[in-house]
Amino acid sequence: MDTFLTPDFWLAVGQIVMIDILLGGDNAVVIALACRNLPPALRTRGVIWGTAGAIVLRVVLIFFAMSLLKLPYLKLVGAGLLLWIGIKLLVPEDEGHEVSGSDRLLGAIKTIIVADFVMSVDNVIGIAGAAQGSGHAGHEMPLVIFGLLVSIPIIVWGSTIVLKMMDRFPIIITAGGMLLGWIAGTLAVTDPALSGQVSADAGTRYAAGALGALFVLALGTMMARRAAAEA
């Protein structure tokens, strides 16, 4: 029990919470976008259950973080998923398929969990590193779980704020899709499979992020116009 009262332990908790808040800034947008078409009475439930499921999945992912991020092509697959989610945000839901802004509670929860899983791949190392830096071997996972649980209210609150803003400013939906494109681009260039071919410095990551954002905007806009014409 004394382990949980040391300054190192609480410093590591603070680091984990801060890392997750920074990640939660992106996640709040994704969660809000996924729940935007739910009836008002179901929005809060979608946000809470989607966030809870995403946090549980992130804890599981951290167990395998060191090994997963060394696998080639994993980040490229994740980047592709993020691009798909970002593009679907910009396309109307006329066909009722699996789209990010689902009007079904389970569909919204599934989208939140999938998007959070993909976005977390590039961030769990920071959380795991903060836990390992606590200096208390054997307590890393309780530390991670505690830090993530503390961050849940912050992510839920941020998602609720974004939902309200989207009702007033629909342009946020487009910005959210482009944000996912940016994350996809920066994620792809850091894949181990590209380490000998593509530089992963800041300039390359920013350029890849910009290309990802523009790709989502261009393809999403084109598909939205086509869907509108067919409708």
What does the pLDDT look like over 37-96, one tens digit per residue?
A: 888 888 888 888 887 887 777 777 777 765 665 678 877 887 888 888 888 878 865 443
> What element of type H or E holds 83?
helix 74-89
Contact 106/98 with Cβ under 8 angstroms? Answer: no
The pLDDT score that the predictor gives to residue 119 is: 65
126 membership: H or E segment, kind and range: helix 124-132
Q: Percent of the chain scored above 90 by pLDDT?
A: 8
Residue 100 has pLDDT above 60, yes or no: no
For residue 203, give both structure tokens: 């300039």
**Extents of the domains making up the chain:** 2-230
pTM > 0.85: no
Q: Which of 14-18, 26-30, 153-157, 160-164 has the highest mean pLDDT?
A: 160-164
Residue 143: which of 16, 5, 2 has the closest Cα?
16
More confident residue, 116 or 194: 194
Distance between CA atoms of residues 90 and 132, nearest Å:
40
Angle at the Cα of 184 from the Cα atoms of 36 and 126, rounded to 5 degrees:
95
pLDDT at res. 210 = 96
Q: How do residues 134-156 score in pLDDT, each as one tens digit? A: 555 556 667 667 766 766 676 66
Task: Report yes or no: 75 and 191 within 8 Å, Cβ to Cβ.
Answer: yes
State the Cα–Cα distance between residues 151 and 120, nearest whole angstrom.
14
Q: What is the mean pLDDT of the chain?
A: 75
Which whole number is the average pLDDT over 96-104? 49
Here the tokens at position 26 are 């992106």
